[in-house]
Amino acid sequence: MSALFEPCTLRSLTIPNRVWMAPMCQYSAPAQGPLTSVAGDWHFAHYAARATGGTGLILLEATGVSPEGRISPADLGLWNDEQTAGLRRIADFLTEQGTVPGIQLAHAGCKASTDRPWRGGAPLGPDAEGWLPSAPSPVPFDEDHPVPHELTVEQIQEIAGQFADSARRALTAGFRVVEIHGAHGYLIGEFLSPHSNHRTDAYGGSFDNRVRFALEVVDAVRTVWPEDLPLFFRVSATDWLEPDGWTVADTVRLAALLRQHGVDLLDVSSGGNAPNVSIPTGPGYQVPFATRVRSETGLPVAAVGLITEPGQAEKIVAGGEADAVLLGRQLLREPSWPRRAARELGAGHVTGPVQYGRAA
């Protein structure tokens, strides 16, 4: 038997295997008009291919909880009925294929309002589909980004409510997992790190103050998300600015608090909060961060980052380094990677479309 293809149960939800798809923005939703930020045919085809490929859980890309919370004008959003309906089509199909549909809810903070990556990814102003970003402090991401608006306490609390409203819509759309995006230098991650959070009120300064917003978002989402369904949280374990930034030890402390507030699994990534940072990448380079959180807090974790081979993924799960693996670019290259992994690991048949039965 393969540990990678054992079911994973969180609360009342059973995910059929431990090969999961990490959220990856597609920057392919309409940027203007009545269907702004609504999932279309590209999103359906993209996610459907990974579901028919045997992925156990698919986490849809960072989905803005407000227009100003999107990374780009072409990001998905979840603040109106049209967006809810567009996502329902995808969630329903994933469910039909035996894949658990999940969605990542996000606010981009000071990194909002940028162009699509293949068009350079530069910041966009109000004269080019863009807007002025907001952040914990008036600290731009880099010299090319504008100085963001410093959020007031009232605006911070309003954004926590927007996360809850989007989670409620996600449930209506048929999603069974919600992940709160607290990583990669977006708004929640900006609050966590002293590099980007220079506030002197109840949301800045000490560790307890800097994690306050993250916990308020979790609490707001948990009030509307069903008790029997799991809630995930994505974190950058380090912003690679130690000892002056967010550290792995900070992540362990946060993980223990998140568990107390109703988070069921930590999706452990790293980086993204500062430009031009030296990161020692390599196969599975972020896995030790996930392992440390799991061993020191007991909170289930998913590992991500240059996990590309079936044997590598099997070792991570079988060895107790993580409870699941989240694949990103590898699933872009190979939508049916889970089926290949099952064959190579001798895991037997992975449930899939009857139409493809002759290829089993």
Using CA atoms, how far residue 166 sits from 149, 151, 179, in Å, is: 23, 20, 11
Q: What pLDDT digit, counting tens, does each position of 252-264 carry?
A: 999 999 999 999 9
pTM exceeding 0.85: yes
Give CA angle at 116 (111, 120), nearest 5°. Answer: 90
Residue-range domains of the chain with CATH: 3-348 (3.20.20.70)
Arithmetic mean of pLDDT, 23-34: 96
pLDDT of residue 352 exceeding 80: no
For the stretch 300-314, pLDDT in tens is 999 999 999 999 999
Percent of the chain at pLDDT > 90 equals 94
CA distance 84 to 37: 10
91-104: per-residue pLDDT in tens?
999 999 999 999 99
Residue numbers annotated as active site: 186
Q: String of b and e for 3-30 (b: at least 16 CB within 10 Å)? A: bbbeebebeebebbbbbbbbbbbbbbbe
Q: Which of 265, 120, 271 is nearest to 193 (CA)?
A: 271
Query: What band does 350 get if pLDDT is binned at 50, 70 and 90?
Result: confident
Tens-digit pLDDT profile for residues 128-174 = 999 999 999 999 999 999 999 999 999 999 999 999 999 999 999 99
Q: At 354, is the pLDDT very low, low, confident or very high (cuts 50, 70, 90)?
A: confident
Indicate the burial class of 128 (C-beta count within 10 angstroms; 0-12, 13-18, 19 or more). Answer: exposed
Q: Is the pLDDT of residue 360 over 80?
A: no
